[in-house]
Structure 1
């Protein structure tokens, strides 16, 4: 949830910006961003649009995300 809150103040964030603002390890940030941008439900859009997360990637909130059966807790 804290990762998604970062996008209330910024439209687009880079991997290093997210890592420093969340104060997490590299491994934790990769796992978090992968689940939010590369899984079945893409809550974050990622550039480049690949299946892996790299330190050069940028992320933005997917404002078009909707799903009647899934709730974000």
Structure 2
């Protein structure tokens, strides 16, 4: 819940101020997807876990690459 609120707050901040916070946004979305994958694993949904972990790893990679460009 805290990660979802943080994602919404960063999105609103970026829209209102036109600043570039995309790497931070991607990192927090990646953390949110990782937590979602762990919840799916606890519910014994292996496919959902695998999909969420793959997406979170991709988002972590994109956020790291994006922070190098700044």
Q: Normalised by the size of structure 1, how large is the TM-score?
A: 0.29
| The structure with more radius of gyration | 2
Q: Normalised by the size of structure 2, how large is the TM-score?
A: 0.30
Per residue, is there more helix in 1 or in 2?
2
